[in-house]
Structure formats: C-alpha cells, structure tokens
Amino acid sequence: MSFKVNGEVGACGGKLLKLSHHSNVVNNSMDVNVYLPQQYYKNSNDKPIPVIYFLSGLTCSPQNASEKAFWQLQADKYGFAVVYPDTSPRGDHIPDDPEKYWDFGVGAGFYVNSTQEPWKKHYQMYDYVHRELPAQLNEYFNKSGNAKVDFLENVSITGHSMGGFGALSGYLQNYGSKKYKSCSAFAPIVNPSKVPWGEKGFGNYLGNDKSAWAQYDPCELVKKIPNRGADRILIHQGSNDGFYKVQLKPENLVEASKGTSWEGKIDVHIVDGFDHSYYFISTFVPEHAAFHAKYLGLAQ
C-alpha cells in the first residue's frame, strides 16, 4: 500500500515524516505522522526498531503531539519510532456533529468501530488503528523484506485523553494476543460509559445497547481479562485538569481492578499543579518512554 510523503522534517537526530494514505477501513484518505529515530539511519543491520503508537485526544490531528509532546528526544535516546495516527477521518463528506461541538464527530472518532448510521461507513477507527494502519506501515517501510522498523510485533501504545482511552481499550482488547508489549496513558477517559464525553460518543457510534459499550470500556475490560502476572499500566493525571473529576476519573480504573489480577498493577500518579495540556504531557513523556523502553527490550 502506497503512502504519500507530504513533508519530511529533521528533528533531533532523526526525521518526522508527514504521510497520507488511503484507508479501506474508513473509506477515506488518512493522515499519519511517523518519527524515525537516529538509529533508523545509522544502524541498518541491527534488530528492527520497535514502535510506540501515540493516540491523540479530542480535536487533535497528527501534528499536535508531533510538535508539542517532545517524544523525539526520547525516541533517539532509546531507539524506538513513534507513530501518530489521526483522531478521525476528515473531509467535507465525512459526517460530523450536527451541533458542531468539538467532542464528537470529526476530530473525535473515539477509536471504536461505529455500528450506527450515518457514522459506520467512515468511523471504523478501532480497526484502522489496531489493524490496518500497522499492516500498511509495515508493508511500506519494509518493502525489501528485511524489516528495519517493527510496526507489528515489538510495539507499545500510549495516548492522551480520548487517546488515552483508546490506548487502554486497545491494549486490553488485544492483551490475549500479546499485540502490545506495554500501555500507558496521559489523563485518559478510563470509564467512558459513565462520563458525558463517552456517553455521547458511544451513544452515537455504538447505539443504546450498553453491552456494546462494555466491549470498549477499560473499567469493564479489566474485570474480564487476566493479567499474565508482571504487566503494569502507567497513568499520569494532573490535579488542576478541569476535566479530571467529570470526564476522566482515573480512580475508577483502580477501583474496577480490585479483586482482579490487575489489582495493584495500575499505577495512577496524580501530579500536583498540572492541567490537561501538552505542558503536562511533555513533562511526563520521559517517564513514559522509560517505562515502554523496558518492555520493548531497549532498557533494563
């Protein structure tokens, strides 16, 4: 599958590629940014470079985290690539929130597969992020058959806000197949079935059947999917985040894990003075990078 290179930006020791491609899953062109670290250009005979997928939050595009989260320094330090998918399909023909609010529709795909009209033709973001995009990237970057970047197996996932939900949900749903080596999140929506953003998104994309919502809700998934024994989830949440108490509620995930094999293995750090912004994200990216690097075999 072919990608169009719309931009190539030198950053730190590597390059940020701004790409677009056609997605059969969402029936639309999609933008995605990929940061290739310095190791990609210097160590062609080493093991394939691992990948971290960063899922962005409401209203964001691939540009936001690429420019403001500062993953590049950490990618160069440890030797992983970073993939920044878009948050929804885009275009004048793509259905949007009829009331034009920012918390649903374009820029707010919620990383689920919609089952409802008029959304289901294009809003298949779960399959896009966890299935189609990794396969297409792997094919494009490893055309010779000698993989330099491992987009499929030695991969981890993280995200912010809506993207933090997407990371947690995707990690747990794919836990049995060991698709992702590790998962972390910044100010995630951990219990979308119980908060206004999630109720609106799930209600429109998935309909009124709450059992369909439970298939994506991390607080429900953690009760059903056994931990293999040593895996942990890392979460940071700012105490001054205006969405903390109403929309995010990370304590709900800790509470849901009690009595399960995940109890004591979900590390939620409430950090004083931080809000919901990229100032918060960029401050704790080094800690999350170190966390993932261990699971990806890049650090002790």
Residue located via tokens 């899922």:
55
Q: What's the topology of domain 3-295?
A: Rossmann fold (3.40.50)
Q: How is the chain split into domains, by residue range?
A: 3-295
Q: Which of 160, 276, 288, 292 is catalytic?
A: 276
DSSP element (H, E) containing 53: strand 51-55
Strand partners, 22: 29
- Choose, from 241, 257, 288, 292, the residue flagged as catalytic: 241
pLDDT in tens, the chain (300 residues): 589 999 999 999 999 999 999 999 999 999 999 999 999 998 666 789 999 999 999 999 999 999 999 999 999 999 999 999 999 999 999 999 988 899 999 999 999 999 999 999 999 999 999 999 999 999 999 987 667 999 999 999 999 999 999 999 999 999 999 999 999 999 999 999 999 999 999 999 999 999 999 999 999 999 999 999 889 999 999 999 999 999 999 999 999 999 999 999 999 999 999 999 999 999 999 999 999 999 999 998
Q: Is 161 a catalytic residue?
A: yes
- Annotation marks residue 277 as catalytic: no
Give the Cα separation of 229 and 130 in Å (integer).
24
Residue 162 contacts residue 59 (beta carbons within 8 Å): no
The conformational region for residue 107 under phi > 0 = left, psi -120 to 50 = alpha, else beta, is left
Choosing from 56, 114, 161, 169, which is the catalytic residue? 161
